[in-house]
Amino acid sequence: MKILVLNGPNINFLGIREKGIYGSEDYNSLVTSLEGKAKEEGHELEVYQSNYEGGLIDKIQEAYHNGTEGIIINPGAFTHYSYALRDALGSVEIPKIEVHISNVHKREEFRHLSVTAPVCTGQVVGLGLKGYALAMDFLTGR
């Protein structure tokens, strides 16, 4: 299966920012773990991170044309207000799982709303970096 993992703003600062919320593992550790899992299971994986909304939208549009069969996305703060990202996700008929490392429902009120979740197949929230692996398992039917 061909899977695209998209990470939004500040996800590249894992292990640096708010360790009490996001943990001490760094971004490279997350990427290495996902790449290892994909290789072991025989999947093709692309991981992309951008602090810019347009970069994420471009990748979603590319996915439509390049045979991507599943998208895992942690939109970061864009979750709560990016209607452009929502529209891009909603425009592709590809299974999509939204992932959040922390339990956004136990945090500040503004984090409780996801404008992107309604156009995703499902959502994994609050299970740390393991949420990405669980999203991959869902997409691949494991």
Residues carrying an active site annotation: 22, 100
Task: Note the Cα 43 to chain centre separation in Å.
Answer: 17
CA distance 1 to 111: 32
Q: Please tell me whether 28 is known to bind a ligand.
A: no
Reported as half-sphere exposure (CB side, CA atoms, 13 A), residue 4 has a value of 25
Q: Please tell me whether 111 is known to bind a ligand.
A: yes
Q: Please tell me whether 87 is known to bind a ligand.
A: yes
Q: Please tell me whether 12 is known to bind a ligand.
A: no
Closest among 91, 72, 81 to 134, alpha carbons compared: 72
Q: Please tell me whether 74 is known to bind a ligand.
A: yes
Residues annotated in a binding site: 74, 80, 87, 101-102, 111
Residues annotated in a binding site for substrate: 74, 80, 87, 101-102, 111
